Amino acid sequence: MTATTGARTATATGTFTPQPGAAPLTRMIAAQTVLETRMLLRNGEQLLLTIVIPALLLVVFSAAPIVTTGAGKRVDFLAPGLLALAVMSTAFTGQAIATGFERRYGVLKRLGASPLPRWALMTAKTGSVLVTEVLQVALLTVIALALGWSPHGNATSVALLLVLGTAAFSGLGLLMAGTLKAEATLAAANLVFLLLLVGGGVIVPLSTFPHGVATALHMLPISALAEGLREVLQHGAGMPWGDLGILAVWAVLGLTAAGRFFRWE
Amino acid sequence: MQSTPAVEVTGLVKRYGAKTAVNGLDLSVPRGCVAAVLGPNGAGKTTTVETCEGYRRPDAGHVRVLGLDPVAEAASLRPRIGVMLQSGGIYPGARAAEMLRHTAKLHREPLDANALIERLGLGSCGRIPYRRLSGGQPQRPALAMAIIGRPELVFLDEPTAGLDPQARRATWDLVRELRADGATVVLTTHFMDEAEKLADTVVIIDGGKVIAHGAPEELARGGAKDTLRFSGRPGLDLASLLKALPADTAAAELTPGSYWVKGKVDPQMLATVTSWCAQHSVMPDRIAVERRTLEDVFLELTGKELRS
């Protein structure tokens, strides 16, 4: 066909003259992280879930004796619980819902044909979750300090708990987003958020429940995170290995299952 | 490298459960040309294109895109191709211009996003989140995203579905420019005129197989007969006309004074008919040549019943 020779002699200076190639990986991941974060912060429902609800619960339950929080200031009990809730709201609920709809709208499919590798997309998603968590932790810390919070413990333990908690919740959130329909993910992720808020030792102490139930509930990732943060921040413990262990198991299970069952279309 | 075709598919088979979507399909697209894949709904167009894009693993057959295996060598292939899906592909909360600028950042030497936004009129829908765009509006950012990375090969799945005539023409102009600048374009379409005007080569698919292929004008001609119509005095003796014409020509008086001649319509045939008219002192009024269009060919090949 003559068009073949035409291609070779085509002007080298045309607007659309092919010049393909991927951008450097670091630039792609940075750009994708910025976009993912912007999408998250632009979404009103997401902000309600990740910023407004944890902050509001912290203020309301610290101000009034609605639940019995044991000895000490209420805020000392509540602040670690709401930090845990903030992690769950972003890494699990928010990420599951957003990713579910991205899958439904063909965003993940289209990105699959772009130069961005899939692992780089997941890295960017994790990056945007971490950026959001930093904002949440900063905001909740400021509010809690204003309410008279006096945290103890070492920062490394706290950071480790937050990172393992994020890994556990991300795995579970992505598993849900990659296997269910977007609407089902929306409903299920919100329901799970609500149940774990009540039954996960966030604002209601696990000791409120009968002993056997409390022990079982402690195995949940939200309880392990909340209790672990409480051990460190409220009671000044070193490394809460038990809680870190529970989170690590959830992280391995969730991420492995997500890697195995996630459907991109 | 340049000598290999942009797309080379042989004996492609793709099944979804019990349903065979593509059943032994062959396709070859030379570099630097525009290829249109035509076919009724469910013919296997999208499956074929998505196999070339690396989304589907063939059940049988051989697929090479720019000389690469689209599944095994996806990492090398993806930076070199541009993809426009039939729908979607943009964050529901993103704005068209924002998404385009982002896509540009994934490529090494992208086109100027602002120039492309201006050119495709994305400025007007630039501030609106993608999920609120209506009609054919979502196609425009998706098209822009497919070409912003300056790809060698662009796949466009129904790029003009739902577009108004102006936007359709803008898309056509863009495709022509891509070809002129040396890119290869593979597009699927339902529109015969689009394939006829735009494509160097047309492939008609039905039931997962190629049922015809070639340059659009060749296909339309396709050895089949064209028709010459004219009006004149009723009751002319057509037998003497047919004697002067090649053996496989037919002629008839449809209604009194209205005639058609079916056969190879070329200057020779036209001269024979008009000189025969002159011999019989007939003024051939409303003389007209009717060519088959690609649409006629398409309907002949794929039937006229509606598809789901």
Give CA torsion, residues B96, B101, B107, B112, to 10 deg: 110
Task: Identify the residue among A17, A38, A110 best suited for mutation to test binding to B, counting B beta carbons within 10 A and taking the highest.
Answer: A110
Question: For residue B285, what pLDDT is reported?
Answer: 85
Quick one: average pLDDT of A124-152?
A: 96
In the predicted structure, residue A6 carries a pLDDT above the cut 60 = no
| Residue carrying structure tokens 């024979």 | B272
Q: What is the mean pLDDT of chain A?
A: 92
Which pLDDT band, with edges at 50, 70 and 90, does B135 fall under?
A: low
Name the least confident of A246-255, B82-91, B259-268. Answer: B259-268
The pLDDT-based confidence of B307 (bands split at 50, 70, 90) is: low
Q: pLDDT over 70 for what percent of chain B?
A: 94
H helix count then E strand count, chain A: 13, 0
The one-letter amino acid code at B113 reads A
**B88-94: average pLDDT:** 90
Q: How many other C-beta atoms are found inside a 10 Å radius of the C-beta of residue B72?
A: 11
Q: What is the mean pLDDT of residues A206-221?
A: 94
pLDDT at B308 over 70: no
* Contact (Cβ atoms closer than 8 angstroms) between residue A130 and residue A170: no
A112 contacts in chain B (CB < 8 Å): 55
Mean pLDDT of B176-203: 93
Is the pLDDT assigned to residue A9 strictly greater than 50?
A: no
Strands B60-65 and B7-16: antiparallel
8 Å CB contact between B10 and B174: no
Tokens linked to A21: 């190639």
Q: How many CB pairs under 8 A join A and B?
A: 149
CB-CB contact of A86 with A136 (8 Å): yes
Instruction: Specify the residue for token string 């039905």.
Output: B206
Give the global pTM.
Answer: 0.85
Query: Residue B247 burial (CB < 10 Å; 0-12/13-18/19+)?
Result: exposed
Q: β-strand B19-29 against B7-16: which pairing, if any? A: antiparallel
Confidence check: pLDDT of A107 > 70: yes
Give the model's pLDDT for residue A246.
97
- What CA dihedral angle connects B180, B103, B66 and B68, to 10 degrees? 180
| pLDDT given for residue B263 in this prediction | 85
The reported pLDDT for the residue numbered B198 is: 93
pLDDT score, position B2 = 57
Q: Under a CB-based contact definition with an 8 Å cutoff, are residues A17 and A10 in contact?
A: yes
The minimal CB distance from A4 to the residues B31, B108, B183 is found for: B31
CA B236/CA B239 separation, integer angstroms:
9
Q: How far is CA B42 from CA A13, B121, B169, B190, in A?
A: 40, 32, 26, 12
pLDDT for residue A8 is more than 50: no
**Inter-chain CB proximity A107 and B88 less than 8 Å:** yes
The residue among A251, A63, A100 whose CA lies nearest residue A186 is: A100
Q: Which two tokens stand for residue B258?
A: 């209205």
Report, as an integer, the average pLDDT of A247-259: 95
- Please indicate whether, in this complex, the C-beta atoms of B107 and A22 are within 8 angstroms of each other: yes
Cα B218 from Cα B201, distance rounded (Å): 10
Q: Residue A1 above 50 pLDDT?
A: no
- Asked if pLDDT for residue B282 goes beyond 60, the answer is yes
For the residues B61-77, what does the mean pLDDT come to?
96
Best residue in B53, B101, B105, B132 to probe A by mutation, most A CBs within 10 Å?
B105
The reported pLDDT for the residue numbered B83 is 97
**If pLDDT is split at 50, 70 and 90, which confidence band does B126 have?**
low
Q: Which residues of B1-33 are buried (b: 16+ CB within 10 A; e: fewer)?
A: eeeebbbbbeebbbeeeeebbbbebebbbbbbb
Q: Please provide residue B291's backbone torsions phi and psi, each rounded to the nearest 5 degrees.
A: -95, 150
Q: What is the pLDDT of residues B204-253, one digit of tens each?
A: 999 899 988 999 888 877 655 678 889 999 999 899 999 999 888 889 89
Rounded distance between C-alpha atoms, residue A83 and residue B84, angstroms: 42
> What ipTM describes this predicted complex?
0.86
Residue A154: is it exposed, middle or buried by C-beta count within 10 angstroms (0-12/13-18/19+)?
A: middle
Highest mean pLDDT among A182-191, B155-164, B219-228: A182-191
Residue A198 has pLDDT above 80, yes or no: yes
CA distances from B24 to A75, B13, B163, B218 (A): 69, 5, 33, 24
What pLDDT sits at residue B125? 64
| pLDDT at position B302 | 78
Model confidence at A206: pLDDT above 60: yes
Of A6, A19, A105, the CB nearest to B88: A105
- For the ranges A46-50, A67-71, B33-37, B238-242, the lowest mean pLDDT is seen at A67-71
Mean pLDDT throughout B133-146?
A: 83
Mean pLDDT to the nearest integer, B43-50: 94
**B85 and A21: CB-CB below 8 Å?**
no
> How far apart (Å, rounded) are the C-alpha atoms in residues A12 and A16?
9
Q: Which of residues 16-75 of A touch B (CB under 8 A)?
A: 16-23, 27-28, 31-32, 35, 39, 42-43
**Which amino acid appears at position B216 of this protein?**
P
Residue of B52, B56, B47 whose CA lies nearest to B66: B52
Q: Which two tokens stand for residue B224?
A: 């089949």
Q: Which amino acid is at A53?
A: I
**Residue A12, pLDDT score:** 57
Nearest beta carbon to residue A27 from set B54, B105, B151: B105
Domains of chain B: 7-221 (3.40.50.300), 226-291 (3.30.70)
Return d(Cα B36, Cα A20) in angstroms, integer: 23
Of B83, B115, B131, the CB nearest to A110: B83
Tell me, what's the pLDDT at A166?
A: 97
Statement: residue B293 has pLDDT above 90:
no
Contacts of A114 in chain B (CB under 8 A): 78, 83, 103, 106, 149
